[in-house]
Structure 1
Amino acid sequence: MRLGKVISSLLTGLPTTLILLVLSFVFASLIGIGLAWLCLRRSLVVRGLARGYLGIVRGTPPLLMLLVVYYGLPKLFLLAGIDINNWDKLFFAIAALAIGWSAYLAEAFRSAFLSVDTGQYEAALAVGMNTHQAFRRIIMPQTFLIAIPNIENLLIGLVKATSLVYVIGIVDMYSTATDLSNQNQGVYQLEIFVVLALIYWLIVLLIELGFRRFRKHYQYVTV
């Protein structure tokens, strides 16, 4: 089998992989920020609920989370009279990955926030800023900068986790590679999966490059 045919076949699943990656990361970040905020509340009940969610989600393997969401979410919605059994499988995959990664991102945001010296917040108030200005202009930029390395690592981990969606029948790059290998009765199996690994590696390299440039720009802007 020619290398060009292998690459072109695998790239047919790239758009699905990228859609999964981008959308699940965006939703996971939004949920993670909300969870981090809840974990920092003074209410013991609110913090307890948030920590309980984090514990359950972080203790659930990504593959199991995917299966639980795919088979369990339709039944949960049916309790409210909503039938989502015919919804696109991408919805369930994005939901599962977003739920799974939201817990890790929440911890990244929470730990970064706690790493910022509280004295800077007090100093901002002392020079005339209100609480909103101090949080937005002093605390948040530093929190985000501290969290960037963990966010980068979690995004890279999410790249690899997208390959799990084949178990619910979504045709992504990994699923395409498996089908291509089966069509050739496993004769070119090694070559196919080596090429697939290189494609994933290139995606990770682009993410690392993007974060490196963003980090330099962000540090320059916040100085």
Structure 2
Amino acid sequence: MNSQKILSVIWRGFPNTLTLLIWSFIFATILGLALTWLDLRKNRFARGIATVYLNLVRGTPPLLMLLMAYYGLPVLLKAIGIDIDHWTRMTFGVLGLTLGWSGYLSEAFRSAYLSVDRGQIEAARSVGMPDRTTFWQIIIPQAAMIALPNIENLVVGLVKATSLVYVIGLYDLYNQASNLSNQTAGLHQLQIFVLLALTYWLLVLVIEALFRLIRRRYRQMI
């Protein structure tokens, strides 16, 4: 079996891998920002909710999170009268990865925010700048720049984590390669998985290039 044929089969799973990556990152970012907001509040109850969630999520393997989302959540919700059996495997895949990565992104956002010198807030107040303006025009731009390297690492990790959706039967890059290996009785197994590794590497290189572009543009803006 030639490499072109193998790649044509593997790349049938690329749309699902890309869909998982994009939507999981978007929803994990939104949830991560909400968790960061709760964690930074002075309200003990809000901080307690964020702390419990973050500890639970960061202490649970992503594979287990996917299995719990796919097999456990429908049973749990059905007990209170909510039926989600009609949800697609893609929906459960996005949900599982979102829950897992929201905790890591929240920590990246929180640490970046706390890394900004608090003295700048007092300096802004001394010249009469409103706190809201200080937050959006001074604190957030610096925190975003600090957070970018960690976010990039997390996105790269998310790319690799998408391969875990094979456990719920979703046909991504890894599942396509694995099935092809099984169909050929393992005769081309090494060739197949080397080409799969190169495919993931290429995707990571594209992501790293995008983040370099974002950092370059962002530096120009601030």
TM-score, normalised by the number of residues in structure 2: 0.98
Alpha-carbon distance in 1 for matches of 2:194, 2:127: 58
Q: For residue 121 of structure 2, what is the aligned residue in structure 1?
A: 121
Q: Which amino acid aligns with 1:50?
A: A
Cα RMSD of the aligned pairs, angstroms, is 0.9
Alpha-carbon distance in 1 for matches of 2:53, 2:120: 31
- Residue 161 of structure 1: how far off its partner (Å): 0.3
Matched, 1:17 2:17: yes
- Residue 139 of structure 1: how far off its partner (Å): 0.5
- Residue 129 of structure 1: how far off its partner (Å): 1.9
Alpha-carbon distance in 2 for matches of 1:179, 1:5: 14
Q: For residue 191 of structure 1, what is the aligned residue in structure 2?
A: 191
Q: For residue 88 of structure 1, what is the aligned residue in structure 2?
A: 88
Q: For residue 67 of structure 2, what is the aligned residue in structure 1?
A: 67
Alpha-carbon distance in 2 for matches of 1:3, 1:219: 41
Question: C-alpha deviations, 1:105-164, integer Å up to 9, x for none?
Answer: 000000000000011112222223211111000000001000000000000000000000
- Residue 83 of structure 1: how far off its partner (Å): 1.0
Q: For residue 153 of structure 2, what is the aligned residue in structure 1?
A: 153
Q: For residue 107 of structure 2, what is the aligned residue in structure 1?
A: 107
Q: After superposing the two structures, state which structure 1 stretch, 160-169 or 126-135, moved more.
A: 126-135
- Residue 81 of structure 1: how far off its partner (Å): 2.0
Question: C-alpha deviations, 1:155-203, integer Å up to 9, x for none?
Answer: 0000000000001110111000011011111000000000000000000
- Residue 78 of structure 1: how far off its partner (Å): 1.6
Question: C-alpha deviations, 1:85-120, integer Å up to 9, x for none?
Answer: 121011111001000000000000000000000111
Alpha-carbon distance in 1 for matches of 2:89, 2:128: 52
Q: Which amino acid aligns with 2:34?
A: G
Alpha-carbon distance in 2 for matches of 1:188, 1:63: 27
Please state whether the residue corresponding to 2:85 is helix, strand or coil: coil
Q: For residue 201 of structure 1, what is the aligned residue in structure 2?
A: 201
Question: C-alpha deviations, 1:19-69, integer Å up to 9, x for none?
Answer: 000000100010001101111111122112211110010000010111011
Question: Percent identity over the alignment?
Answer: 56
TM-score, normalised by the number of residues in structure 1: 0.97
Runs of 5+ consecutive residues of structure 1 not aligned to the other structure: none
Please state whether the residue corresponding to 1:186 is helix, strand or coil: coil
Q: Which runs of 4+ in 1 moved over 3 A?
A: none
Q: After superposing the two structures, state which structure 1 stretch, 80-89 or 32-41, moved more.
A: 80-89
Question: C-alpha deviations, 1:2-31, integer Å up to 9, x for none?
Answer: 111111111110000000000001000100
Q: For residue 137 of structure 1, what is the aligned residue in structure 2?
A: 137
Please state whether the residue corresponding to 1:81 is helix, strand or coil: coil
Runs of 5+ consecutive residues of structure 2 not aligned to the other structure: none
Q: For residue 219 of structure 1, what is the aligned residue in structure 2?
A: 219
Q: For residue 76 of structure 1, what is the aligned residue in structure 2?
A: 76
Count of aligned residue pairs for this structure pair: 222
Please state whether the residue corresponding to 1:12 is helix, strand or coil: helix
Please state whether the residue corresponding to 2:36 is helix, strand or coil: helix
- Residue 213 of structure 1: how far off its partner (Å): 1.2
